[in-house]
Amino acid sequence: MRYSRESMKESFEIKQQTTPGEFYKLTVSLSFKNKKIRRIYFLIVAVGTISSLTELLSPKPSWVQVVAGFMIGALFPLIFFLVGSFVLILLIYMIRPGFFRATYFLNHWGMIRTSAKAEIQLSWSRFLKWKETKDFFLLFIVEHDVHIISKRNLEQQDLPELRTLLSEKIGLF
């Protein structure tokens, strides 16, 4: 459904507090969409796989060492990343609980993000793209710098209007 200019909302004020769980879920999903992180991960997995396969070339290969080497090379980096991200987010939450609270104001000019410590004003021309997920609107300034707007902080009737505003001002992902 398309909204006419006359019936469209002029601005959106969105007060939100992102939970550490939401932030973690987004961090993990966006990180693995990053080509550099994926390449590093696959390099580590390849090195671990090759080192475990070289064990097969030994005179008396130990299947336990082969499997253990493969598991360490393939799973350890993934577990390290997942646990490390979780611990880092919990530390941020404990040290700076206000980090997850912000108010977003979006209008025809751009976006203003206000938190306890700072205010950021960005015109729409500064945004690279936007993406909608099941729970969020993601506004990208550069490829890996994103502002997260939770849908749970919006009225259902505002969602189509916000999509229209973002499509007109930024364009789709």
Confidence at residue 73, expressed as pLDDT on a 0 to 100 scale: 76
Confidence at residue 100, expressed as pLDDT on a 0 to 100 scale: 84
Instruction: State whether the Cα torsion 94-98-100-101 is positive or negative.
Output: positive
Structure tokens at 167: 């499509």
Residue type, 99: F
Confidence at residue 1, expressed as pLDDT on a 0 to 100 scale: 38
The residues near 173 (Cβ < 8 Å, ≥ 6 apart) are: 129, 130, 131, 140
Confidence at residue 13, expressed as pLDDT on a 0 to 100 scale: 93
The residues near 23 (Cβ < 8 Å, ≥ 6 apart) are: 89, 100, 148
Residues of the chain with pLDDT under 70: 1-8, 171-173
Confidence at residue 123, expressed as pLDDT on a 0 to 100 scale: 93
Does the pTM surpass 0.75? The reply is no
d(CA 59, CA 62): 10
Among candidate residues 116, 135, 130, 140, the one with its CA nearest the CA of residue 173: 130
DSSP class of residue 108 equals S
3-state secondary structure of 138: strand
DSSP class of residue 26 equals H
Confidence at residue 5, expressed as pLDDT on a 0 to 100 scale: 45
Confidence at residue 8, expressed as pLDDT on a 0 to 100 scale: 59
Confidence at residue 48, expressed as pLDDT on a 0 to 100 scale: 77
